[in-house]
Structure 1
Amino acid sequence: MDESNTLKQLRTSLQPYSLLYVEDNAGLNAQATALFKKLFESVYSAYNGEEGLKLFEQHRPAIVITDITMPKMDGLTMAEAILKIDSEVKVIITTAHDDQEFLHKAIRIGIFDFLTKPLRIDILTETLTRCSASLREILHHKIFNSNLHAIFNYQNSLVLLLQGEKVVMANQPCLEFFNSESMEALRTRFDEFGKLLLEHNGFLYDHDRFHWFNELTQNPGKLFNVKIAGKDDTHHHFILRYQSIPEKEGYGVLSLNDVSELGLLKLYDASSVERERLAKDEKMVRGLLDMAMRNGAKIRVHNLYKGLSITNDGLIEKIDEKEVTLKTPYVQLKAIQHEEVFYLTSELFPMAIFCSNIQRLDFDVQSVHFNQYHLVQTSPTRRSAIRIVPDESLTITFLYEGRKFETDLSIMDISMNAVRLLFSTLPSGLAVKQSVVLDIVIKLGQRPVIINTEAEVFRIHHEKNRYEVVCMFELHGTTQKNLIDYIAKRQMVLIREFKGIQYEK
């Protein structure tokens, strides 16, 4: 067996789990079982579904790999019985035939994956790696949910589950604070909590004298002051408390209570607060732009055309206190003309620069003139999922407490796990974290397809006489594939549409 780093890491990740392997071919069974014993601590092998089901009931392995066609009981019948006993088991089907009927049934009963014989080591390795990651995610959810009750005042706190220094779970207020739609999006931004802690006199953060995590673990029960930047780039003052989980070595829970309203940051470190004020100063941003101009630095210009990312190079041509002149290709100017704002990124900039108040666009010399700009932590380049503005064929019926809303709303954009809706009047009683039902009608080819899903209200934003409501949902199987197909086709339409407006005057 190849002792590469990938296989060594896989073996380490699979150590906590046992495997049931079911295959009626005696030679293949013996060969594969010997291979699996190099990856798993415990491997149980059977030669038919009936024998496999008995072994599962006796040993309860976390992963099952099984053939389909076998005597006494076929693999799919066995798999269905196993998943009724424990829906969290990861079942992998192996077969020498590409039978659509078997594939459809496998999807319906919740099979984790479907592999074609003869098995290839690289594909098997990738599948088992995803298996291990999925099982760890389930474990993290269980640990997180079972220990929330032990956290003081967690309802009003940001709560994170740590494995060592890494963030593995977070509660909804925490996701909202960091403007993340999911745990995956949050982990894309950061995985180690210590990276969030900002320098502030008397506060907990990494520096030469001690490491933040060592300080936590060596002082159980102690409360710490910490400073963290939120989604609006404002620095918040939190009281941090860490609690280890005795029955799960290496795991601990952080709770963070926001006390920014008390205005204590200046008392601890007035110079740091002043530095924060300067960081938001337009003069400082202008200095960054001037430095980029003088050094001929490469700048990237970003826009979103109905969710479609438009990005090109840019060059600062002129800058003074009145306005900035930026040269960028014609296609980017058309995107700026449509959106009326844009973002700039560069290796020289500590974060993205948001530019607005467009004075004029000069298509002949390919330049844009603007005079408002400031640093932001969010930009089109940091989106965790593709969000597109749908066409008129996509409609949504919003159901809340038995009431339907379909005419009093419009759809701003949609992704694989969220939709942003605009209401002129907010449904009475609707609030963040409440459950709703969405009937999403999309058009694939000539046929309408209905996606019915439960969702949770993630964010409500009120501006003037309208309410922006973001709803999160989770799709699987056919419904997920249908939405993927729609988003992919819509992207192609938007690409063609944007190419068309490039030539409009």
Structure 2
Amino acid sequence: MYDNKHILNSLNNLELLYIENKYDFRKQVSDILEEHFTNVYNTQNADEAIDIFRTHKPKIVIIDIDDRRYDWVKTVTRIKDIKSNTKIILISKFDAHIMLMEAINLGVTKFLVKPATPTELSDAINFCIQQLQHENDIKIFNTYVYNIYNHDKSMLIMLKNGRPVVANHIFLNFFNVESVKEFNYKYPDLGEFFLHHEGYLFSQLNNYWLDNAKAHHNNLFHVQIKNKRGEPRHFLFKYHLISQEKAYAILSFDDVTELDLTKTLDTEKAHNESKTKLLEKDKENVYNLLELLQKSKVKVHVHNYYKGLTIVHDAEIIDVKENSITITTVYLQQKAIQIDKRAIITSPVLPYSIVCNKVVKIDYKKHTVELGDLEFSRTSPALRKTIRLSPNSKYSVSLFINNQRYKTDISIIDISIESVNLKFEDVPLNLKKNDKVTIDIIFNIDNKPLIINSEAIVLREAQEQHNSNVVFLLNLNINQKNHLLKYIKNRQVEIIKEFKNMKDKTL
């Protein structure tokens, strides 16, 4: 009866129960099935069938009905009550339509009408086996995901329509609850745990923290939450959208308390710490923070300067090593990094910008850059208020100290409408901070001279013998500012064109 060609090879540890009231037929089919299954149990009695099933729990049950008096509905129901995912094949010579509808309602896997051919029965068994294998694959996958989910260092919770529905063990343990149901009962709003801190996601008690996080789901946020012992812990928080299921979202909380970033984020506290101590903490914290940004797939901004022009694009961190990180970014930013020979990374979640002082490797084909020698910087290109550019070669500059022209070669490193950074061949070491001088600069715009004559104050003096730069704060009138602004705008366009038109061979 059973067609060997249709038997699957992978039937290890599969057991089958065959219920048939005709002994000779039952024995014949059972002998064939035993060649392919680990164990085949057969019986003609319904009660005995249930006892066998309860003891051995075979994954497939075949019920052959020849007698209308046989209560197959009761047998199927009792089997499904014991193990709901059991695969049941029903074979009957009676009214197919009525039985089929009832079989579907009871969860029967396959319904065959007598006389069923060996191929039909073989195909039905194969179908059951494929379902069992697929269910087993899903079980293995879910077990694996579950283990990761509960052994991940992050607190994770899934929301449905803003309401928690699933959470990992770390989350439940942090809030000292046994289940999400208990959490929802005790704490109607997760936001009630967030502690106020300026600049954090939760700065005051309100009902809009979740909306804010959802609206900025690409960002990381700082939050502070008290644990079950009442101790404040510092987390990096992210709202993860599930695009296929709009009603669902996952919240992740990465504990960064040990990084002691609260002091770093608080400017006043950071100011009171010794510089040496802060730098030591910086080296430890930079890579830890970048690992969290990589894990959360949060984009950062990469800044570079080309002749004073700021080049900035998004980037994604794809690898973090002990002494370097690798980012992926656009071609123009790669060019800017190679020219600048360093890069600055910023992100709203970082307490300060990160300066990468070493370019390890640039791969233009993969759009990747490996950067090393990383440290926090207390200044940020994002805070730059004015444009500072290097002028073209068509200019002249003179410095007057006490109405006397200082006789040395002077060049302009960069200039803005507020200040100018001058480089001296022979540094005027007698200049001190807040000293007043006069600066004359003649630029060329459209072959016409643009004259800037301004009083200036020493903003930053030459600190060391090898430092030949002095920064001056300009005191320009309205007309001079307008003229200089016009020059800076024209120069900005020149630099942009120059940068974009650069060929690879010039790098």
Normalised by the length of structure 2, the TM-score is: 0.45
Normalised by the length of structure 1, the TM-score is: 0.45
- Structure index of larger Rg: 2
